Amino acid sequence: MNAVHKLSLALALTFAANGRADYLPDPAAAEAALVASPMVAQARGEFAAQSLKSESLRNGREEWTLSADALQRRIDAPQDRFAEWGVALSRPLRMPARAAADRALAGALTAHAEASLGEAMHESGRQLLTLWFAWLSEASQTKLWRAQVAIADQQLATVNARIRLGEAPRSERVNAEAALAQTRLQQQQAATREQQARNRLLAQYPGLPVTADDSLPQPVQPSGTADDYVSTVLAHDHELLRARRQADMLQAAARQFASRRSVDPNVGVFYKNEMGGNEHLLGVSVGLTLPGSARRTDQEAAEKLSATAQDAAIRLEQRLRQEARANFEAAGAQAANWQQADRAAQALAEAAQLSARAYSLGEGSLDQVLVNRRLALEGRLMAQQAQLDALSAQARLKLDAHQLWPLDVEGEDGAHAHP
């Protein structure tokens, strides 16, 4: 087992230890949705087309040429005329060096299309995560506002009870009813945003079941080291693989142009019927196509493109390395942010409960209850969003490490688009 496989196994065990991610789509359903997404469907079609083009390169594009001619021979002395005709069949020859260069280019083109298919699958997974957490955020807010409506309704009942006992002025009923109406409006607006987020998700992934557990797990700090995570991500990154395959493809194209700078032989056979059928000719023809300066410039252009693509792949690896480390560190920071926000929300919720209890016992004012309840709600909303941000960062870590959903897709020829 090599080092990359060991790191992948360690991360897989770490992620599995965090428990089932029931707030995320089911892995089988997510895989089916990703495969059926427009981005991946287009990449599959392009991969199939490129496979056919590569097969054409391997087989060779040299074709038979059939030609025929008809003429009339005239002899002045003695004066006579003869009908004559001929046919010829010829074909260019593909030399062994050129055939090897064509096969190498065909393999490079297929590998690049395969890497593009894997990149489409990975990018579609990132898009699915973004849309899923957008819906999950709105769904969580809807649930929270629904609970706030129940609290506001209970608060109105408490106010009415105190008014009946003569312990509170009737004006407090107006304040409590206004607070309830405002909370219901917020709940309706949250439900509308949730439906819109669900529609956006289903528009992109129509077959995906959009359901999740009511409770969200507690975010945890990423296990392992940043170096291990970066190594695993780079070993599975389809974008980097695609850039490398593109450099290989351009290098193979340069080699193919180099193989075409030699002469192109053309051989054939011909038959001629002359002198009205009195003479018959059967022979072999050989022709040579002499290369010009265009083939040299084509090779030089391909070599420059290959060198540029190789430099771009190196720079891309450096950027992806920094991004992977930043994502790992950001996931840890967001988990810490949630812990702080959760502690603040709990303190604000306790203060709101105490003020509401004091008011029900005839102490304090309704205005203070409403203020404390609003602060507690804001604190809970902030904590909830911090929790979702941390969970989203953790899910992104798993996705990029290929430990969330299957991202290595199988091409038309049974190949897999992975490093």
| Residue 69: its H or E element | strand 65-76
Question: Looking at per-residue confidence, does 368 or 319 come out higher?
Answer: 319
- What's the whole-number mean pLDDT along residues 242-259? 90
Say whether pLDDT at 242 is over 80.
Answer: yes
Say whether pLDDT at 39 is over 80.
Answer: yes
Measured CA angle at 5 (ends 332, 228), to 5 deg: 30
- Number of helical (H) and strand (E) elements in the chain, helices listed first: 9, 4
Least confident of 76-80, 257-261, 268-272, 339-343: 76-80
Least confident of 207-211, 238-242, 337-341, 346-350: 207-211
pLDDT of residue 343: 93
Question: Looking at per-residue confidence, does 6 or 157 come out higher?
Answer: 157
Say whether pLDDT at 73 is over 80.
Answer: yes
Report d(CA 192, CA 209) in Å as an integer. Answer: 19
pLDDT range class, residue 412, cuts 50, 70, 90:
very low
Domains of the chain, start order? 3-400 (1.20.1600.10)
Say whether pLDDT at 381 is over 50.
Answer: yes
Q: Which two tokens stand for residue 348?
A: 């604000």
pLDDT range class, residue 21, cuts 50, 70, 90:
low
Beta bridge partners of 282: 271
What confidence tens digit (pLDDT) does each residue in 273-327 have? Answer: 888 788 888 999 888 887 778 888 988 898 999 999 999 999 999 999 999 999 9
What confidence tens digit (pLDDT) does each residue in 146-189 have? Answer: 888 888 888 888 778 877 777 667 777 888 888 889 889 989 99
pLDDT of residue 20: 47
- The rounded percent of the chain whose pLDDT value lies above 90 is 38
- What's the whole-number mean pLDDT along residues 55-73? 87
What confidence tens digit (pLDDT) does each residue in 321-358 have? Answer: 999 999 999 999 999 999 999 999 999 989 888 888 88
The mean pLDDT of the chain is 84
Burial class (CB in 10 A: 0-12, 13-18, 19+), 174: exposed
Nearest by Cα to 187 from 137, 142, 140, 139: 142
Report d(CA 404, CA 24) in Å as an integer. Answer: 10
SS (H, E, C) the chain: CCHHHHHHHHHHHHHHHCCCCCCCCCHHHHHHHHHCCHHHHHHHHHHHHHHHHHHHHHHCCCCCEEEEEEEEEEEECCEEEEEEEEEEEEEECCCHHHHHHHHHHHHHHHHHHHHHHHHHHHHHHHHHHHHHHHHHHHHHHHHHHHHHHHHHHHHHHHHHHHHHCCCCCCHHHHHHHHHHHHHHHHHHHHHHHHHHHHHHHHHHCCCCCCCCCCCCCCCCCCCCCHHHHHHHHHHHCHHHHHHHHHHHHHHHHHHHHHHCCCCEEEEEEEEEEEHHHCEEEEEEEEEEECCCHHHHHHHHHHHHHHHHHHHHHHHHHHHHHHHHHHHHHHHHHHHHHHHHHHHHHHHHHHHHHHHHHHHHCCCCCHHHHHHHHHHHHHHHHHHHHHHHHHHHHHHHHHHHCCCCCCCCCECCCCCECCC
Say whether pLDDT at 416 is over 80.
Answer: no
> pTM for this one?
0.78
Residue 211 sits at φ, ψ, to 5 deg, of -140, 155
What confidence tens digit (pLDDT) does each residue in 105-137 have? Answer: 999 999 999 999 989 999 999 999 999 999 999
